[in-house]
A = this chain, B = another copy of it.
Amino acid sequence: MLARVSTPPTFKRLPRAVREQQMLDAAVKVFSRRGFHAASMDEIAEDAGISKPMVYAYLGTKEELFVACLHREGTRMMQAIAGAAAPDLPADERLWRGLRAFFGFVGAHRDGWAVLYRQARGEQPFAGELAAMRTRLVDVVAGMLDHALRAEGREVGETELEVVAYALVGATESLADWLADHPDADPEKTATRMMNVAWLGAGQLLRGTTWRPPAS
């Protein structure tokens, strides 16, 4: 009450949709800085310029809030990538565009997405959420490889394909981390480097060249 006197005009009453976005912004920021567990609802509320019960009223429990963050950021990323992927282009062109979009997105949301991603990997409750996104990505990549293979009349076992896709996605994530940790690095250039590793490696595989273990 006493404090109220000094801040009468500060409290703007805002519509729900706006406040929800502010809360999500704050949540992403705090979660990414502190990690899921170390982040407190109080801090998120304070950072959003609002009180804690409002967060509960709008976004639910802490876990639900985190999932909401994951969804918003994940959806944004998927859209950014999907927007760049014209399905009737040659495989390397599609891969290139996808990678460029992906690294562009990570570069623009450094502490946003990459760190949420890191977070969600460990925490049991969200392993599922994240695994789903990852699986979608792997499937997309595997599909692309498969498509390119069939176009050349070749074919490869399903597991084989999945594993290669897994490796590529892993390499890409790893470079995304690297990018997030190097604020002055160029996303475009990073995408090119990834493309080099991925395409030369995968390209060889597509052409039927394989490496065989020595007889040891």
Which residues of A are in contact with B by a Cβ distance under 8 Å? Answer: 34-38, 92-93, 96, 100, 118-124, 160, 163-164, 166-175, 177-178, 190, 192-205, 209-214
Contacts and interface: CB of A to CB of B under 8 A. Distances in A.
B197 A167 contact: yes
A213 B164 CA distance: 22
Nearest to A210: B196
A196 B170 contact: no
Contacts of A123: 35, 37, 122
B35 A124 contact: yes
B174 A169 contact: yes
A173 B121 CA distance: 13
A148 to B, nearest CB: 15
Contact of A171 (B38, B100, B174, B209): B174
A169 B198 CA distance: 13
Contacts of A100: 213
A211 B190 contact: no
A2 B151 CA distance: 76
Contact of A163 (B164, B193, B199, B209): B193
19 contacts: A37-B37, A38-B124, A92-B211, A118-B122, A119-B122, A160-B193, A167-B175, A167-B197, A169-B174, A170-B170, A170-B173, A171-B174, A195-B213, A196-B211, A197-B201, A198-B201, A199-B201, A200-B201, A200-B211
B178 A174 contact: no
Contact of A167 (B93, B121, B171): B171
A121 B204 CA distance: 32
B193 A167 contact: yes
Residue among A96, A202, A204, A212 facing the most chain B CB atoms (10 A cut-off): A204
Contacts of A124: 34-35, 38
Q: Which of A92, A167, A199 has the most CB of B within 10 A?
A: A167
Nearest to A119: B122
